[in-house]
Structure 1
């Protein structure tokens, strides 16, 4: 399930997935691809999203700038490689029963974390934010 903007009135179930911070004019917009925890894939002792950053990004890029805008997504996606922009992943650790947001340091600002918590339905859920070598912006 791909999302860019979520209606604040609609309840989002706790989810895992991937995300980026994408330039959109003078601001950065968080775009996500997420899976509700109830149908997430098992990966060791974790529950995770079944798709990778490259796979999803290339699907979006193939849409082109016009179609991305039509879908409410930033057109900048069409002009960047997936690793050029800050990104991250949300996974659920079954032991100790908490969500971990692995995020590029550029996305570890309080306002971005608050928005990620909302976009992944983690309000009221135990979660922590961590850095990881996989989620460092190149460039």
Structure 2
């Protein structure tokens, strides 16, 4: 079954926190989502890769994204850091979420950026 949720890409691995699409809630415009939030899940030891000192990092230090599902087009919608737009990484995300590759829309989103300059601009309140 197709899954939805959030993920990080750390040391060439997808670390997903997901659930079956049939357990999702509808947010807006027929888009199914979970209530998982990167900043909340980050503290959960279950998703932390072994051997990486994650306590030295914030949740936004690693490329990440979110997988949603559109009930109108019957397709998955993946928002992710632009550094993850390559075939090898997409394949790993598809495997982690059991996605059907011809029914996926891939979109970059600044919300998921790891670009230090862009992060500085987004959080500069001066």
**Band of TM-score, shorter chain:** 0.7 to 0.9
| Counterpart-to-counterpart distance in 2, 1:77 and 1:31 | 13
1:55 aligned residue (18, 40, 43): 40
Matched, 1:117 2:94: yes
Distance 1:21 1:31 in 2: 6
Stretches of structure 1 that go unaligned for 5 or more consecutive residues are 1-12
Aligned residues: 114
**TM-score when normalising by structure 1:** 0.73
Alpha-carbon distance between aligned partners in 2 of 1:104 and 1:126, rounded to the nearest angstrom: 20
- Residues 124 and 30 (structure 1), Cα distance of their counterparts in 2 relative to 1, 3 Å cut: closer
For residues 62-77 of structure 1, what are the structure 2 equivalents within 5 Å? 68=48, 73-77=50-54
Q: Which residue of 1 aligns with 2:27?
A: 43
Question: Are 1:33 and 2:14 an aligned pair?
Answer: no
Q: Secondary structure at the match of 1:96?
A: coil
Describe the shift of the 1:17–1:73 C-alpha distance in structure 2 as closer, same or farther (beyond 3 A): farther
> 1:5 maps to which residue?
none
Instruction: Provide structure 2 residue ranges, at least 5 long, that are not aligned to the other structure.
Output: 117-126
1:39 deviates by 0.4
Kindly report the root-mean-square deviation, in angstroms, between the aligned alpha carbons of the 2 structures. 1.9
Kindly state the Cα deviation for residue 138 of structure 1 after the two structures are TM-superposed. 4.3
Could you say which residue in structure 2 is the equivalent of 1:105? 82
Runs of 4+ in 1 over 6 A off after TM superposition: none
Change in Cα spacing, 1:82 to 1:137, as seen in structure 2 (3 Å) is same
